């Protein structure tokens, strides 16, 4: 069965390495990913967060040279959501961030639209933070 997929992206006028380092640090999620995390802490090597969906665990792909920021979100009930995400370099001073959103089984059109809007808002916040060069070096 095929599920609906949306590729949501935003251009960030900042070097890809800085964007990757900031976005790939789970400690920074509360600063830009309100749709995912209101607070987060590392406990026994796992990143545990309070989210709009309740308590979750977030696990990013290992650091890599390709800009892959795929991450799994595990809900308290054990459901796991795979979230493909990439930072795509475009020269030395800009990049595109692309998040692949997949419609969950049983999700209504309204819920999928709300999920899309939440991801788009998070990407816009990431862009604002990184382009304004607010304290994005800290993690």
What is the pLDDT at residue 39? 85
The answer to the question of residue 138 being in a domain is no
Radius of gyration of the chain (CA): 15
54 pairs with which residues across the strands? 51
49 pairs with which residues across the strands? 40, 56
32-36, 61-65, 95-99, 109-113: least confidently modelled range: 32-36
Stretch 110-136: mean pLDDT? 91
Q: Could you tell me what percentage of the chain is helix, strand and coil, using 3-state DSSP and rounding each to the nearest 5?
A: 30, 35, 35
The answer to the question of residue 55 being in a domain is yes
Q: Is the pLDDT of residue 1 over 90?
A: no
2-33 pLDDT per residue, tens: 689 999 999 999 999 999 999 999 999 999 99
The answer to the question of residue 50 being in a domain is yes
Which of the four pLDDT bands, split at 50, 70 and 90, describes residue 138?
very low
**Domain of 71, in residue numbers:** 5-132
The tally of domains found in the chain comes to 1
Can you give 31-76 as a three-state secondary structure string? HHCCCCCCEEEEECCEEEEEECCEEEEEEECCCCCCCECCEEEEEC
100 pairs with which residues across the strands? 7
CATH of the domain at 127: 3.30.530.20
What is the pLDDT at residue 2? 65
* Rounded Cα gap, residues 124 and 61, in angstroms: 22
Please tell me the pTM assigned to this model.
0.90
The answer to the question of residue 122 being in a domain is yes
63-106 pLDDT per residue, tens: 999 999 999 999 999 999 999 999 999 999 999 999 999 998 89
The answer to the question of residue 139 being in a domain is no
The answer to the question of residue 43 being in a domain is yes
The answer to the question of residue 137 being in a domain is no
């Amino acid at each position: 069965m095929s599920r609906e997929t949306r590729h949501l992206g935003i251009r960030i006028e900042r070097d890809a390495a800085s964007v990757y380092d900031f976005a790939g640090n789970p400690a920074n999620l509360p600063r830009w990913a309100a749709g995912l995390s209101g607070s987060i802490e590392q406990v026994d090597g796992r990143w545990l967060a309070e989210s709009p969906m309740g308590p979750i665990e977030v696990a990013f792909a290992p650091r890599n040279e390709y800009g892959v920021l795929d991450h799994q979100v595990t809900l308290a009930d054990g459901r796991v959501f795979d979230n493909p995400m990439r930072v795509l370099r475009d020269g030395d001073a800009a990049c595109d961030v692309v998040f692949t959103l997949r419609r969950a089984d049983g999700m209504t059109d309204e819920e999928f639209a709300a999920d899309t809007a939440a991801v788009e808002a998070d990407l816009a916040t990431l862009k604002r933070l990184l382009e304004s060069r607010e304290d994005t070096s800290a993690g």
